[in-house]
């Protein structure tokens, strides 16, 4: 069992009820809390207002496993997504991100384990799960009915999701206007550009105002302006309606801007999970520096590697990239060493810690 899995199993969620933050701490170790836990077992709590008030987790994944023959796509996954959060699932290709989303939206049956979405078990109540879930599948710009008009696509899905018929036109107009597609409402979806089809797929996922929105690479086909708009929409919806977003993405910068929590998955297992801010704060314990030197890259690299506080040193095109522990006291030591050994420094630049650093660290096996 990996370190991260041990951590996730030991985070107080073994009771079957997952209450985040302060509520859990207040209730812990009292008779009342035990009674509370029994009375409010996860299956019973389906009222939205109650889930929001006590901040219950909207998505709870327990020991979820999916095998395709000999291949284990999702391997005993454990994950909790708090209500109203924007949760980013990061990982390389084939890590099991899309399979996780397909399991959560009940397209696939788990080989082992289960999950609950909005209080409904994906095995026992798949229809209820689908009712409260909006899904933006992988390559969602191809998942529209090409011969149907933009408007008809949304109307069809609105009716299938049981949106009251009187409300459908208003909701369609609101969403299409926001996405800048209202003028194209009568055009066949197949005639829209890739980006516009992606926006339409997003409208479709949001039309029935789902409690949980599952998104597989939601901005992959969008231009930067449209992607920014979608990110703002997602953040706005999460704040306003307390909708929960579970997002697969390769785009680390996007996840960093949008998600308040992230998990890094590889080979079907969660390697690391937590609040984005906390994970970034962990990164501050070490700091990356780019050092440009005059011609003597290898010498500079050797000096850097000989320092105890340098955790990694790599050669780049015309510079070296070093990671330093306790940077405030150690960066000057490194600079002095380089200068004293005759290395001419052109630039000694601090790099901002990004999720990319964390992601690469974790995927390479250097779990923090």
Partner 1 sequence: MALRKSMLVARADLRMAMKVKMVKYGLVMMTAMAPIMLIGLVLLLALSAPAVVVTMITMLDPMMSPVIGIMVIVPASMISANALVGEKEQNTLEALLCTPLTNRELLIGKVLSSFIPTIALLLGSVLVTEIATNIILTSVGAEVILFPGVSSLFLLLVAGPILVAAVISVMVLISGRVKRVYEAYQSSGATVMIFLIPLVLPMMSMNNGGIVDMNLVWMSNIITLLIASVLAIVTWTLAIRRFNRDRIVSM
Torsion, CA 48, CA 201, CA 255, CA 59, rounded to 10: 30
Q: How far is the CA of 340 from the CAs of 291, 301, 303, 331, 343, in angstroms? A: 15, 14, 11, 14, 7
Does the footprint of partner 1 cover residue 179 (CB under 8 A)? no
65 binds partner 1 (CB under 8 A): no
Q: Considering only residues 140, 244, 249, 287, which one is a binding residue for partner 1 as defined by CB under 8 A?
A: 140
Q: Does 171 bind partner 1 (CB under 8 A)?
A: no
CB of 198 to partner 1, least distance (A): 13
**Distance, CA of 341 to CA of 339 (rounded, Å):** 5
Q: Which helix (DSSP H) or strand (DSSP E) does residue 231 occupy?
A: helix 224-240
Q: What is the DSSP annotation of 107-135?
A: SS--SEEEEEETTEETTT-HHHHHHTEEE
Q: Which residue has the tokens 């390389």?
A: 92
Rule CB under 8 A: choose which of 160, 346, 349, 360 binds partner 1: 160
Residue 268 in contact with partner 1, rule: CB under 8 A: no
Going residue by residue from 186 to 225, which x/- string records binding to partner 1, judged by CB under 8 A? ---------------x--x---------------------
State the nearest-atom distance from the C-beta of 360 to partner 1, in Å.
31
Contact, 83 vs 95, CB < 8 A?
no
Residue 139 binding partner 1, by CB under 8 A: yes
Nearest CB to partner 1, comparing residues 138 and 296: 138
DSSP-based helix, strand, coil % in the chain, nearest 5: 40, 25, 30
> How far are the Cα atoms of 186, 197, 216, 219, 304 from residue 145, in angstroms, in the given order?
13, 10, 19, 20, 58
* Rounded distance between C-alpha atoms, residue 190 and residue 173, angstroms: 20
Minimum Å distance from CB 255 to partner 1?
23
Q: How far is the CB of 226 from partner 1 (least distance, A)?
A: 20
* Min CB(238)–partner 1 separation in Å: 20
Is residue 135 within the footprint of partner 1 (CB under 8 A)?
yes
- Closer to partner 1 at the Cβ: 162 or 342? 162
Binding mask 73-102 for partner 1 (x = CB under 8 A): -----------------------------x
Q: Which of 120, 151, 161, 348 binds partner 1 (CB under 8 A)?
A: 161
> Minimum CB separation from partner 1 for residue 79, in Å?
20
Q: Is 247 helix (H, G, I), strand (E, B) or coil?
A: strand
Asked whether 65 and 111 are in contact (CB, 8 A), the reply is: yes
Measured CA to CA, the distance from residue 94 to residue 212 in angstroms comes to 24
Residue 118: CB minimum distance to partner 1, A: 13
Number of chain positions touching partner 1 (CB under 8 A)? 31
Q: Which residues are at the interface with partner 1 (CB under 8 A)? A: 68, 102, 105-109, 127-128, 130-131, 133, 135, 137, 139-140, 142-148, 156-157, 159-162, 201, 204
């Amino acid at each position: 069992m990996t370190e991260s899995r041990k951590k996730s199993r030991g985070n107080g969620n073994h009771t079957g009820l997952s209450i985040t933050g302060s509520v859990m701490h207040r209730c812990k170790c009292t008779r009342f809390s035990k009674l509370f836990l029994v009375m409010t077992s996860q299956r019973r709590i389906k009222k939205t207002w109650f889930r929001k008030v006590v901040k219950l987790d909207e998505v709870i994944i327990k020991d979820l496993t999916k095998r395709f023959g000999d291949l284990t796509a999702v391997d005993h996954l454990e994950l909790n997504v708090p209500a109203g959060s924007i949760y980013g699932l990061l990982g390389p290709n084939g890590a099991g991100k899309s399979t996780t989303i397909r399991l959560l939206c009940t397209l696939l049956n788990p080989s082992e384990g289960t999950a609950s979405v909005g209080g409904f078990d994906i095995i026992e109540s798949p229809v209820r799960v689908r009712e409260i879930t909006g899904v933006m599948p992988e390559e969602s710009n191809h998942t529209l009915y090409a011969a149907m008009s933009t408007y008809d696509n949304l109307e069809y899905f609105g009716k299938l999701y049981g949106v009251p018929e009187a409300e459908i036109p208003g909701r369609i107009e609101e969403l299409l206007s926001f996405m800048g597609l209202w003028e194209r409402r009568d055009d066949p979806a197949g005639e829209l550009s890739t980006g516009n089809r992606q926006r339409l797929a997003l409208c479709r996922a949001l039309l029935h105002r789902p409690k949980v929105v599952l998104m597989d690479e939601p901005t992959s086909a969008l231009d930067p302006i449209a992607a920014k708009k979608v990110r703002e929409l997602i953040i706005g919806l999460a704040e306003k309606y307390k909708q929960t977003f579970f997002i697969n993405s390769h785009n680390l910068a996007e996840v960093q801007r949008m998600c308040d929590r992230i998990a890094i998955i590889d080979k079907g297992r969660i390697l690391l999970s937590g609040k984005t801010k906390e994970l970034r704060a962990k990164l501050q314990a070490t700091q990356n520096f780019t050092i440009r030197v005059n011609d003597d890259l290898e010498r500079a690299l050797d000096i850097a590697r000989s320092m105890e506080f340098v955790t990694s040193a790599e050669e780049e095109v015309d510079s070296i990239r070093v990671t330093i522990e306790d940077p405030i006291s150690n960066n000057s030591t490194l600079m002095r060493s380089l200068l004293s050994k005759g290395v001419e420094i052109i630039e000694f630049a601090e790099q901002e810690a990004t999720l990319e650093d964390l992601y690469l660290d974790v995927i390479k096996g250097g779990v923090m």
